[in-house]
Structure 1
Amino acid sequence: MKFALGVDIGGTKTALGLVDSEGQVLSKTSLATDLSLTPDEMVGKMADAARTLLSYNGLQAADLQGIGIGAPGPLNTRLGQIAEPPNLRSWWGFPIVQAFQSHFAAPIVLENDATAAALAEKWVGAAKTADHFVYITISTGIGAGIYSHGRLITGASGNAGDIGHMVVDPAGGACNCGQRGCFEYIASGTAIAREASALLGRPVTSKEAFELAFSGQDPAMEQLVHRVFEYMGIGCVTLINTFDPELIVIGGGVSQVGSPLFDAVSGYVKRHALNPSGRTTPVIPAELQQDAGLIGAAALIHIKY
């Protein structure tokens, strides 16, 4: 059996897992992405956590087939660098592959985190039989991994699928990227919490906003959620019209809302996708959920993509 280390770096948390060549997670751990530390110091903590995982499983660094890293974009995967992710400003321009190479001799691969999660869903998740699909993560932010003609579409620098910053509604307000009405700014979990908090005049989580909307006792929350679901439908129709996938897979924390989201988005797709075949594109939940990132990062090592 061959083993890879998957590293899924987020703005607040980094998950690490040992994953075998069948896509099974042997063991995993996580640590806070401490932005008070330098990136090099943080990579040192990740390396220590990885060694602990290896030791716990009776393995050594020499037993690793490789290390896959999924990180939020923009990246420069060709140079192995974190470029300019909004939630990791102190990491801008950081040569993360080189930093890991100072701790491990194994091959190291860097890809966008949503791209890695798409590969995980293809490998052992909801898209195993699909040769053309788009994986969308809707959580703190929004991103996508694009799989077409039997391979990942990553782009010239590894940033294909950064759909969170495609404009969906210019009237939706100013995004931190400088555009107005970006998909992420108006339909992510962060956006739902921000809008719900403004409506109710107190801090509200996205989970609470959905609960209030589905209770049938708060018309303002119902309208907010209906609008967000429509934005998600617009995003999916845009992707269907652009890539002609056979499947849309949605993951991330917001997808845990379940049937109300998938029914609403599927209904929008049926009404508005341009191609008749596009209107029947299945929109389904991801299978791997919280482990998608680290399994996908390990998949960068285990399988050809």
Structure 2
Amino acid sequence: MSGTGVNLGALAEFNVAVVLDAIRRHPSGVTRTGISALTALSGMTVSNVCRRLVEAGLVIEEAAPARGRGKPPKILTLNRNGGFAVGVHIDPAVITYALIDLSGRVRERIRTATPTVQDAEGVVREMAAMLDALLLTAEIDRGRVLGLGVASPGPIDPQTGVVLNPPMLPGWHRVELRSALHLATGLPVLIEKDATAAVVSELWFSEPGERRNFAFLYYGTGFATGVALGGAAVRGVSSNAGDTAHIPVDPTGLMCDCGRRGCVGVVTAPRTLVAEAVRAGVLTERQAGDTTDSLQVGSAFGLLADAADAGVPAAVEILTVASQQIARALVVVVNLLDVGEVVFGGPFWSRIAPVARTVLPEAVRTDPGLVVPHGIRFSESSIPGDVAAVGAATLVLDNAFSPRPEALRIGTTGESAGRFSVPFSTP
């Protein structure tokens, strides 16, 4: 009978998630009657759940301002200080740490250079130490932290928490990151691809129905695409969906490690554009530095972007061509998924954005390969700072508090589905 029927224990937790989500989406407050109307749950169920949420310190219940005769109703609001989540984004150049409260507001952020990527154990030690520093700076007790989310380059195995063989992190071969971080920090740990974590954060912070079907173009040291369909992140069979770096966009372009020429992830990579800037005389070799060093590439790419902002023709041309190549890849993504919106973000996006924003929409719209009959909206991430780090932290909140109907089936418990339990005791 496994997999059929309703799991009554999961039903109770599902109702908690439904009520908490309704309260979260009404920052100015909502009454218990209002929650019943929004969720279709009975008044008794809503009252019981709200009582538990208030006792746990996740929700605040206060009387509304008096208006006329009669007792004013009680208004429920999210207690943003009731819990916190930490997100970590691992990039070959930098590791970003973000602490967010229950409302999703970033309370503290730290960025450090990534330790030698060949030394995975060193990275874990560094991450654990920086987590301590993050909580100390924000003056947050570890007991109030719900969990730790990690956004990593793919491929990953989120079921086992293993980072497999990410091409941008040489030496990382089947690193058991989740278990290592759990042992080092004592916190529950979730791991997700960086582009997918970005999608989760966009869904979490958007208004209901505002953003349901979109592709998130992640432009960083690597190139990836996260996808949301029907208001849910698309992960695929192994949670590695969205690896679009190998879409060919230039038949005469550089040879990719996959054996093809002109893959978008190679021809538009910051290190490739820096090398082109040297050949075009925009940068000197000294300014470019070592194009195999992610930190030096980041600095040199910034100089290239500065030159384009200043109107240097060769610099503008390099970023224009890269934007056109990205547009060709986007046409494939849009045709395949039939999405109506493309959201842009990632560590290097802000530097290419001034040129890309003027090139991409028209390049996609006029591409002869575009099939979809509808218009496509182009927008930038609504998440300030590093969207992947904030997205990783959001994974924790989303995992603990977002309603998931699939968890109601018998044979599917919150634990087996990899979910955190809602903490019903005051930290």
What TM-score do you get using the length of structure 1 for normalisation?
A: 0.89
Distance 1:170 1:126, change over 3 A: farther
Deviation at 1:83, TM superposition (A): 0.9
Unaligned 5+ residue runs, structure 1? none
State the one-letter code of the partner of 1:242.
L
1:81 aligns with 2:157: no
Cα 1:133–1:13, aligned 2, differ >3 Å: closer, same or farther? same
Which residue in the other structure is 1:251 paired with?
Answer: 345
Match of 2:284 in 1: 202
Is the 1:35–1:90 contact (alpha carbons within 8 Å) kept by the matching residues of 2?
no
Give SS of 1:170's match: coil
Distance 2:264 2:168 in 1: 17
Corresponding residue to 2:221 among 136, 140, 144: 140
Offset, 1:141: 2.1
State how far apart, in whole Å, the 2-side matches of 1:210 and 1:10 are.
20
Residue 275 of structure 1 is matched in structure 2 by 372
Pairing 1:293–2:293 present? no
Flag the 1:223–1:31 CA change in 2: closer, same or farther, 3 A: closer
Tell me the equivalent position of 1:231: 325
Q: Is the counterpart of residue 66 in structure 1 residue 66 in structure 2?
A: no
Deviation at 1:295, TM superposition (A): 1.0
1:264 and 2:352 aligned: no
Equivalents in 2 of 1:76, 1:99: separation in Å? 14
Question: 1:1-305 maps to which residues of 2 (within 5 A)?
Answer: 1-35=82-116, 38-124=119-205, 129-200=210-281, 202-203=284-285, 204=288, 205-213=300-308, 218=313, 220-252=314-346, 253-272=348-367, 273-277=370-374, 280-303=375-398, 304=402
Change (3 A) 1:265 1:99: same
* Contact in 2 for aligned 1:4/1:298 (Cα 8 Å): yes
- 1:250, CA displacement in angstroms? 1.0
The CA deviation at 1:128 is: 7.8
**33 and 215 in structure 1: CA distance in 2 versus 1, 3 angstrom threshold:** closer
Are the aligned partners of 1:11 and 1:88 in contact in 2 as well (CA < 8 Å)?
A: yes
Residue 240 of structure 2 aligns to a residue whose secondary structure is coil
8 Å CA contact retained: 1:121, 1:128: no
Cα offsets for 1:103-152 (capped at 9, x unmatched)? 23332110011111222222236998211011112232211211111111
CA distance in 2, matches of 1:62, 1:2: 9
Structure 1 residues 41-72: Cα deviation after superposition (integer angstroms, max 9, x where no partner): 32122112112222333333322111110011
Q: CA RMSD in A?
A: 2.4
Structure 1 residues 41 and 127: CA distance shift in structure 2, 3 A: farther
Which is greater in Rg?
2
The answer to whether the 8 Å contact 1:229/1:264 transfers is: yes
Paired amino acid for 2:108: S
Instruction: Please give the per-residue CA displacement for 1:3-42, whole angstroms capped at 9, x wherever unaligned.
Output: 1111111112111121112111111212221117732232
Assess if the C-alpha contact under 8 Å between 2:320 and 2:355 holds in 1. Answer: no
Residues 207 and 41 of structure 1: CA distance in aligned 2, closer, same or farther (over 3 Å):
closer
* Deviation, structure 1 residue 214: 6.0
Contact 2:316 2:355 in 1 (8 A): no
- For 2:118 and 2:358, the matched residues in 1 are separated by 43
Aligned AA (1:121):
E
Q: Provide the C-alpha distance between the structure 1 equivalents of 2:354 and 2:90, rounded to a whole number of angstroms.
A: 29
Q: Secondary structure of the residue that 1:92 maps to in structure 2?
A: coil
Identity fraction in percent: 25
TM-score (norm 2): 0.65
What letter is aligned with 2:359? A
**Helix, strand or coil at the partner of 1:164:** coil
- Offset at residue 293 of structure 1 (A): 1.4
Question: Which sits farther off after the overlay, 231-240 or 49-58?
Answer: 49-58
Q: Extract unaligned runs of 5+ from structure 2.
A: 1-81, 289-299, 405-427
